[in-house]
A = this chain, B = another copy of it.
């Protein structure tokens, strides 16, 4: 069976961050809060680092769902920001789709809360419209692992590619030589175990002198 490896191309991908709101974040139970916060911010840092067009959207910020977490607002001050008046599937919102199309990209990288709704619905809609869809699995959270497993199966069956933020960063960067320090900083900030490797290494280097 022939297979084409559609890999993330930093020149052809837009990032969609869907409903990372303070109230909704408190519903997430398939990651520890520390892990989840780190994963979301790591994905956001990737988006910025690779200068990927990024679209923010929220659902009912004025109600119990709460506002977009301030860290994301701060990281993307000029990004299109669609506060949806009611559409559950962001793709049902014309402004959102318009913003997506305006990026001119054919790959979409999606993360959100909760996985089976805010991520899966636009992911499936985007697949139907012919986009290559990548799900940032660990920057997307939901009520429990059972629900997550079902959501992943549904998206996978639809041809979405499931990736972690670390895999995403690596697939976008392609070659360390493009910017060793930049990528290293990204990893150091969001992979504590990698940061420790660097610390030990640096200590060895310093001792050398």
Contacts and interface: CB of A to CB of B under 8 A. Distances in A.
Interface stretch (A22-30, A75-83, A98-106): A22-30
Contacts of A38: 34
Contacts of A159: 1, 3, 157
Contacts of A34: 32, 34-35, 37-38, 192
A52 interface: no
Nearest to A178: B86
Copies in the complex: 8
B176 A86 contact: yes
A138 B147 contact: yes
Contact of A128 (B3, B116, B128): B3
A199 B164 CA distance: 27
Interface in A143-195: 143-144, 146-147, 149-154, 156-159, 161-164, 166-167, 170-171, 173-178, 180, 191-195
A176 to B, nearest CB: 4
A61 B204 CA distance: 10
Given A88-B175, A173-B88, A193 B26 contact: yes
A109 to B, nearest CB: 14
A54 interface: no
A97 interface: no
A200 interface: yes
B33 A192 contact: yes
Closest 9 CB pairs of A and B: A204-B204, A86-B177, A64-B197, A22-B199, A66-B200, A86-B176, A33-B192, A116-B167, A150-B162
9 contacts: A2-B130, A5-B128, A7-B121, A27-B197, A34-B34, A88-B171, A88-B175, A117-B166, A121-B170
